Amino acid sequence: MLKLLANDGILRRIIESAAAAPSIHNTQPWQFRVVADDLLEVRADPGRALWVSDPHARALYLSCGAALFNIRAAIRMTGFKPRVWPLPHPELDPAAIAAVQAEPGRPPAFAEREMYEAIWRRHTSREPFTSEPISEPVREALEQAARFEFTTLRMLNSSEAAMVLDMAAKASAELADDVDHRIELQQWIATNSRDDGIPADALPSRPSREPAPVRGDLTAATPAAIRPAADYEECPQLAVLTTEYDEPADWIRGGQALQRVLLTATARDLSASFLYQSIELRDMRGESAPAWPWQENPQIVIRFGYGKLQPGTPRRPFEDVLTRAAASGHW
């Protein structure tokens, strides 16, 4: 069998695809290690963890799960199929979040190619969206994408969206008043880094009214980054990605589902951003934080809509995110 990862060009394309995934505040908290010519590990980078806002590593696992999905999509473009082992495998390094082995497969289908091509067009948009509603076929496609990864995407109606938006606004206000949280954010927001973080011009505009469907604590952490005022949509189109359970394996699954949903949206010219602060606050405060109003395990709230195409955020160089095991071969 062809040793897929022995081909430097293919390996680079797979790793660059993985690194194009979304991550919390564009921290890119991952490392990839070639264990054998057909086996790749996805590993967490503890130096990029958010110890204040992500004490349980939920956001880190979601981020690495999104990168894992992109690895799967990139391997499919070679005609191979990915076989994934999530979480530590007894024969692998226990620090690995997941391992992916490339096995012989069929040529990629059109839908797989379409999804892979969307990796390079997908960018988080924190700007206002138009009032154009999402059509029922697109909504169904997004829900189906989540189900494909054994998760649920619940599209919220207007009253549910208003409740979630109010929760997010209150969480943003509390996080903005948390000194440790602000200090941690300042390491990743408007830093002018060429490799990571959120550039000042990718921060949300200043909403003309509240509550707004964007994270207010981002701009509160960087008062020197002056943003223009803007009118955000009054009735944002929100969805909640949920899992059956709420363990690290579910967070990895949730990250893969999130990326499949986002790429499905991108392929249909739909933009997205996130309202994660309520979940973040719950992880930070525990039972003292406001309870989620429904019987489900929310992983992330996604805001969908139609708007201007946004520029991409910086990405770490290929050489910074890839390592190789001391000796190649099969495990």
Same structural domain for residues 38 and 112? yes
Q: Is 278 exposed, middle or buried (0-12, 13-18, 19+ CB in 10 A)?
A: buried
Which pLDDT score is estimated for 325?
83
pLDDT at 329: 45
Domain end among 95, 121, 147 = 121
Domain co-membership, 189 together with 301? yes
**Could you say which of 121, 150, 184 is where a domain stops?**
121
CATH number at residue 193: 3.40.109.10
Query: Among candidates 308, 301, 299, 314, which has minimal Cα distance to 273?
Result: 301
pLDDT in tens, 64-84: 999 999 999 999 999 999 999
**Do 79 and 182 sit in the same domain of this protein?**
no
Same domain, 229 and 257: yes
| 78 and 171 housed in the same domain | no
Within this chain, do residues 161 and 84 fall inside the same structural domain, yes or no?
no
Q: What DSSP letter does each residue of 254-265 carry, written as one string?
A: HHHHHHHHHHHH
Residue 143 lies in a domain: yes
Enclosing domain of residue 270: 136-305
Q: Pairing between strand 297-305 and 271-274?
A: antiparallel
Same domain, 90 and 164: no
pLDDT digits (tens, 9 = 90+) for 183-222: 999 999 988 899 999 998 888 899 998 999 999 888 888 8
* Helix pair angle (248-267, 58-76), 10° resolution: 50
Q: Based on the domain organization, do 12 and 53 belong to the same domain?
A: yes
User: Is residue 108 included in any domain, yes or no?
Assistant: yes
pTM for the model: 0.95
Residue 127 forms part of a structural domain: no
In the chain, the amino acid numbered 84 is V
Shared domain check, 151 and 87: no
Tell whether the model's pLDDT for residue 304 goes beyond 50: yes
Structural domains in the chain (count): 2
Q: Is the pLDDT of residue 96 over 80?
A: yes
Element spanning 179, H or E:
helix 179-186
- Could you give the count of Cα atoms lying within 13 Å of 143 in the half-sphere of its Cβ? 11
